[in-house]
Amino acid sequence: MHLLHESSPGFYWLDHRIVPEIRAMLAAMVSRQPSGGIRQRYLEVVSAIAKAEGLHFDPDPLSDPQANMAAEFRLTTYPLPARALDFMRKWVDDYGHASILEQPGGANVYVEGISRETAWRLFDSPLAIGQEMSTRAVVHSGAICREVEFMRARTQDLLITKVHQPWMEVYNQALDFWNDQFSREDIRARFGVANKEPFSAALDRARVFLPNTIAVAASFASHARDRARVLNTVQADEERGFVDRSFSGHWEAHRNLYRNALPGFAKTFGNKTVPVPAYFADRWMLMSGGVPLQPPHRAPHFEIAENGVGYTYDMPYKLDPGEMGYVDPHFKRIAVTWWDEGSLAALTDFHRHRPGFPWRFSVQSGSVPDEYKNPLPVRLRLRIDEIEKGYSYEFGSVPRFYSLPLGATVRWTVSMTLPDMVYMLRLRAESHGANFEYKRIAKTAGRRLHQLLKQVPGVVLKAHTGFPRED
């Protein structure tokens, strides 16, 4: 056999050249495994395809393997053989066995020129696997996202297009200013970035002036079931009025991307019967300018679920200096809800930690905080004030999200298990090259959480819990 490999008795792997839908079919067939195991099932599938397409195939182990090659390699090409298509129609489309969509892993796809709103939606899943174009590691060209182009085609006099370029000019001038400042070692030391390259530290400071209309890119390797859930939720929200209808063609292009990448699963993308998470519409209304989130107490604030009370947990796992790991797994029984606030840019960085779900946020202020403006030259500060006063952040039917600079202040809340929370806060507080703002947020929140956990009955905290260290 050319495409089913055996490393030792009973241990097999499918060749990476087999197309994803057939890998999914063979993996799903384990639930009805014949007595001969996966080897027998593989031979049955190849035999059926060879017979249907007039190809030679002899399943006898003593047969000439070279003569069987054409039949086996039919598993590596499109269009899909009828045997595979029939399997998908029966078990995925008709019976709804959606777990089959997870079996081959995910198609590797790339999307460019999208908005940060689209990127947020695509990443807003605990199962998302992907990478997003950074706002703090590359210089942004100023290209405008395609969603704004969709809106501009509908409304010629679109205010947010008029502030895109002024914000980009401020961004570039702030970048030049900070790059010049950070060329001096003493200034880098004063700002706590002595170990960073000047330009890298400058990008970190300037990104708060980027407009939220910039074009970004993302790649994904999530399995088809997760991507179908995300894209079908957007489709349902379009019909319910929570997504601008001028974006319909934009989102259909995303669904078509997966239909082309995984044709055997094509019907899954656009299935309107997929349940829509109840929180989603509520969160999006908040993003669009609804009633702001109000934490019970001043941020940072944490709520610890009572299911951790009454248990005594020892923490024998000791983190070595510099190691990035989880606290004891027993602490997964404790759920933590985190309330905090910061810039929209910092929130996006935290949002990439998908164990937290759902993330909800509301806009507190559309202006960039003074702490980011005050160090800049007077003429540049005046220009920023002019931009912020020259237009309203309320644009009627246009989503408010697009009118904000990345430095806009937002308030957020998210829930996750205690180990996941500790890992996220420590990673953002201590990793090399961490952004100054989310590093500060993570350190403050981590210390607050540590203080609260000391007061929870039945929880024993020892040293080296993995919480952000004191400076």
pLDDT in tens, 106-124: 888 899 888 888 888 888 8
The yes-or-no verdict on residue 288 having pLDDT over 70 is: no
Mean pLDDT of 146-159: 72
Helix H or strand E segment including 11:
strand 11-14
In a domain? residue 330: yes
Same domain, 418 and 351: yes
Q: Mean pLDDT lowest for which of 50-54, 266-270, 306-310?
A: 306-310
Mean pLDDT of the chain, nearest integer = 79
- In this prediction, residues 320-326 reach a mean pLDDT of 43
Q: Which residue in the block uniquely carries the two structure tokens 């063979």?
A: 26
In this predicted structure, the answer to whether residue 307 has a pLDDT above a threshold of 50 is no
**Site of tokens 């706590």:** 192
| Residue 209 clears pLDDT 90, i.e. is over it | yes
Q: Which residue has the tokens 């009633």?
A: 291
- Say if residue 335 is in the same domain as residue 415: yes
Residue 357 placed within a domain: yes
Distances (CA, A) of 66 to 76, 188, 327, 406: 16, 65, 53, 59
Name the residue range of residue 66's domain. 4-102
Q: Is residue 176 a part of any domain in this protein? A: yes
Cα 292 to the center of its chain, rounded Å = 24
Q: Are residues 227 and 265 in the same domain?
A: yes
152: nearest Cα among 122, 115, 179, 125: 115
Q: How far is CA 84 from the centre of its chain?
A: 31
Shared domain for 461 and 357, answered yes or no, is: yes
pLDDT band at 74 (very low <50, low <70, confident <90, very high): very high
pLDDT tens-digit readout, 272-287? 544 545 444 444 444 4
Is 50 exceeded by the pLDDT of residue 314?
Answer: no
The domain total for the chain is: 4
Q: Across residues 253-258, what is the average pLDDT? A: 89
Q: Kindly report which listed range (35-39, 91-95, 245-249, 334-338) carries the lowest average pLDDT score.
A: 245-249
The pLDDT of residue 317 is 36
Beta bridge partners of 302: 338
121 and 189 share a domain? no
For residue 322, pLDDT over 90 is answered with no
pLDDT at 361 over 50: yes
